[in-house]
Structure 1
Amino acid sequence: MAFLGTLLGALLAFPLAFFAARNITPNRVVNQVLKRAFDFLRSVDMLIWALFLTRAFGPGPLAGSGAIFLTETGTLGKLYSEGLENIDNKPREGIKSTGASTVLTHRYGIIPQIVPVFVSQTLYQWESNVRGATIIGAVGAGGIGLKLWEAMRTNANWENVAYMVLLILIVVFLFDMASNALRHRLMGTKVH
């Protein structure tokens, strides 16, 4: 649920961020409309999106993935567009001066600068969403959070509750370690 929601949010936010960045797309209206859309999507908490989507589609992972997707589209869209606005324009201008197309200018003048930052931000959000998925699951949005909530509500088997909490802690810890190692590898720094 966290993986799917984060992945879909990142895939939508990536192209939209190019249109939201002032230095990439000079159209002020497009920039502002997208930035306000990102603000709206991220200002509504993931839990509120989960409640709304659970009501619309019923309980289950569709509502949870949808809540994460909406929140991440706004959050990553803002982060990506700000990252694009802070790139060094010299490589882009140099490639453009050779007569390269817009696609080639973006491919060789922008993408190499932003990939490590975008991947780092996306991994951090994914790591955060693994924890968030437990909470939104408790409101019926699927995943282990729903199972945990059901087990706690029935008061039937607290041993299972303890196992689920332990499993959640282990998964979050492993995701944290894996994403941290991948982030450092992409950024070219040592893992501490």
Structure 2
Amino acid sequence: MTQVLELSPSELAEQRDRGEDVVVLDVRSAAEFETVHIPGSVNVPLPLLGADPSRVAERLGERRVVLTCQAGPRAHQARERLAAEGVEAGVLAGGVSAYAPGREVVRGAERWAMDRQVRFTAGALVLTGLAAGRFVSPKLRLLAGGVAGALAGTALANICPMADLLGRMPWNRAAVEPTLESALERI
């Protein structure tokens, strides 16, 4: 089993300050990328990378790669997909959330991060199920139980269908959604 190289935000910043050739791939959605990103990073949303990881790997060649997302999980998924294609990439520990404080970042229109949207939506569904179970019908508490079970299952599988669904909402759309071709051109 290959050990995952995690770089701290300070290590990445130092490498970039020294002018080292490091490709930073940000695998968050285009809307999240528009909100805040590391200067010079390239947005290749995880679904695009997953659609054809061999083309992304080919474009990266032998260059050093650091993957980032909001906090880390999607970057680790991207690392696994690229590793299957022979690319050994590092992961930015803590993601953009850990890099941004005290460092130069590019900021756009403010949006909630996807993990925050998921927590809010799940919490609202649980509260709705509990309230409806109390005031309408006890059977409606099953909504709260269903959400809790789904959250546990998605944590075990390391996937998040709710994030995928929320990512399709209009407020999570970027002005320009990247295509695989446009992402490959920027690498």
TM-score, normalization: structure 1? 0.28
Higher strand share: 2
- TM-score normalised by structure 2 residue count: 0.29
Q: More helix per residue: 1 or 2?
A: 1
Please identify the structure whose Cα radius of gyration is greater.
Answer: 1
